Chain A
Amino acid sequence: DGGITQSPKYLFRKEGQNVTLSCEQNLNHDAMYWYRQDPGQGLRLIYYSQIVNDFQKGDIAEGYSVSREKKESFPLTVTSAQKNPTAFYLCASSIGGQVNTEAFFGQGTRLTVV
């Protein structure tokens, strides 16, 4: 079945460590997105990529990094520079980078700093 797979579902990080969240899609979508979700704040865009080997910062990119070496993969690294990384992270993809296309979401990764 086609879809988006995020792993792991739960992730614990010690302060000062970098961690990488995985996002893979087999929908042959060009565009991929990372959102952060905190209670009462909706979804905030971290990074997005409209094509392989290209990506742009979203609204809250500080403390995060991404790569897009393959069409199907868009990993997110939460660096030690991110001061408050505990949150629910959602990856999404769409056919193109146009806003009139539906976004398909993964099941999310819950990151907790311990």
Chain B
Amino acid sequence: AQSVTQPDIHITVSEGASLELRCNYSYGATPYLFWYVQSPGQGLQLLLKYFSGDTLVQGIKGFEAEFKRSQSSFNLRKPSVHWSDAAEYFCSWGGGTASKLTFGTGTRLQVTL
């Protein structure tokens, strides 16, 4: 089945350390890929998106993601994490004839001071 997988349920990093959140997709063609962030008890906010072209995309809040077709991945990265980045992060995808986005199960990021 076409889907996205976020292998890490929970990640803890120290403030100032680098961050990489993993996302793998299962789809034959190039999908539309997104990363969203959710603060506790809130809705989701778009961080960045990939449709085509340059495989390294920049987003808000200093985040970036790289599309790697060979690995079916779209990992989210940040060079230096801030305590305010603590939240839940969702990868999502769309493609083909789908008229809806499908979301991964999320990765909860904890930042230690």
- Contact status B41-A108, CB under 8 Å: yes
Q: What separation, in Å, do the CA atoms of A103 and B43 have in the docked complex?
A: 11
**B105 proximal to A (CB < 8 A):** yes
| B36 to A: closest C-beta gap in Å | 8
* B-chain residues with CB within 8 Å of residue A114 when the two chains form the complex: none
Interface centre among B32, B46, B98, B101 (most CB of A within 10 A): B101
- Contact status A99-B42, CB under 8 Å: no
**A63 proximal to B (CB < 8 A):** no
**A64 proximal to B (CB < 8 A):** no
* B-chain residues with CB within 8 Å of residue A105 when the two chains form the complex: 36, 43-45
With contacts A40-B9, A50-B99 taken as known, whether A102 is within 8 angstroms of B104 at the C-beta atoms is no
With contacts A107-B43, A108-B42, A108-B43 taken as known, whether A99 is within 8 angstroms of B103 at the C-beta atoms is no
Question: Of residues 69 to 114 in A, which have CB atoms within 8 Å of B's CB atoms?
Answer: 88, 90, 92, 97-100, 102-103, 105-108, 110
With contacts A42-B90, A42-B106, A108-B42 taken as known, whether A103 is within 8 angstroms of B9 at the C-beta atoms is no
Which one of A31, A33, A43 contacts B90 once the chains associate, using CB atoms below 8 Å?
A: A43
- Contact status B100-A40, CB under 8 Å: no
Interface centre among A42, A45, A102 (most CB of B within 10 A): A42
25 of the cross-chain contacts (CB-CB < 8 Å) are A42-B103, A42-B106, A45-B100, A58-B100, A90-B43, A90-B44, A92-B43, A92-B44, A97-B99, A97-B100, A98-B94, A98-B99, A99-B94, A99-B99, A100-B94, A102-B34, A103-B44, A103-B101, A105-B36, A105-B43, A105-B44, A107-B41, A107-B42, A108-B41, A110-B41
